[in-house]
C-alpha cells in the first residue's frame, strides 16, 4: 500500500472534481473517539501487560558474607517478608564462577548452577549504594 503523498492526495481528490473545478488546497485529517473513551481504552490495552509483568517479577535481596552468597526471595520492594532462600558457598565459585555484567542501569548477576540456577538484575536507582554493592558482589563471585 502506497504512503499517502501530496500527489496521491491531489490525485484522489481530483477524481471527484466537477468539470472546470480546480483544486486549491488539500490535507489529510482524522477524527478520533472522545478522549474520555480513549484513555480508558489505552489503560485497558496497557494495564494487563503491566500487571502481568508485575505478577511474574520475583524480588530478591542478595547478600555476600565472608562465607556465602545468600539470596532471599522477598514479597516485594516494600514488603520484605521472606518467601524463599538460596545460598551458595563462596568456595563453590572458585570451581564455577558466576557471570556478572555491570550495565548502565542494571547490574546483572547470573549463577550457572545445575541445582540452584540464579539470574537477577539490580537496579542502580533502588538506593544510593545499590549499584556499588551489586557490582562488588558480582566481582567477588565472578572472579573469586
Partner 1 sequence: MRACPFCSNAEGGNPCGLCGRAPTASRKVCAACKKMTPLDEPQCSHCGTALRSELRWKIPVIVAMFVAAISVSAIVEVFMR
Binding site for partner 1 (CB under 8 A): 33, 37, 41, 44-45, 47-48, 51-52, 55-56, 73, 82-89, 115-116
> Which lies closer to partner 1 via its Cβ, residue 52 or residue 94?
52
Please give the grid coordinates belonging to residue 139: 566481582
The CB-of-13 to partner 1 minimum distance in angstroms stands at 26
> Which lies closer to partner 1 via its Cβ, residue 114 or residue 125?
114
> Which lies closer to partner 1 via its Cβ, residue 88 or residue 100?
88
> Which lies closer to partner 1 via its Cβ, residue 71 or residue 134?
71
* Distance from C-alpha of 121 to C-alpha of 108, rounded to nearest angstrom: 4
Please give the grid coordinates belonging to residue 140: 567477588
Residue owning grid cell 504512503: 3
- DSSP reduced 3-state for 86: strand
The CB-of-51 to partner 1 minimum distance in angstroms stands at 6
* Distance from C-alpha of 29 to C-alpha of 1, rounded to nearest angstrom: 18
Distance (Å) of CA 6 to CA 21, 24, 139? 19, 12, 59
110 and 100 Cβ atoms separated by less than 8 Å? yes
The CB-of-98 to partner 1 minimum distance in angstroms stands at 16
The CB-of-84 to partner 1 minimum distance in angstroms stands at 4
Amino acid at each position: 500500500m502506497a504512503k499517502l503523498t501530496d500527489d496521491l492526495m491531489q490525485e484522489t481528490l481530483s477524481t471527484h472534481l466537477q468539470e472546470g473545478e480546480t483544486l486549491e488546497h488539500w490535507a489529510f485529517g482524522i477524527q478520533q473517539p472522545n478522549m474520555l473513551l480513549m484513555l480508558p481504552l489505552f489503560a485497558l490495552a496497557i494495564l494487563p501487560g503491566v500487571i502481568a509483568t508485575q505478577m511474574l517479577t520475583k524480588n530478591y535481596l542478595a547478600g555476600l558474607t565472608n562465607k556465602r552468597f545468600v539470596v532471599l526471595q522477598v514479597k516485594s520492594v516494600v514488603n520484605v517478608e521472606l518467601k524463599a532462600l538460596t545460598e551458595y558457598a563462596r568456595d563453590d565459585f572458585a570451581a564455577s564462577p558466576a557471570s556478572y555484567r555491570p550495565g548502565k542501569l542494571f547490574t546483572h548477576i547470573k549463577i550457572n548452577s545445575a541445582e540452584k540456577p540464579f539470574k537477577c538484575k539490580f537496579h542502580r536507582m533502588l538506593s544510593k549504594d545499590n549499584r556499588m554493592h551489586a557490582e562488588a558482589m558480582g566481582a567477588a563471585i565472578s572472579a573469586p
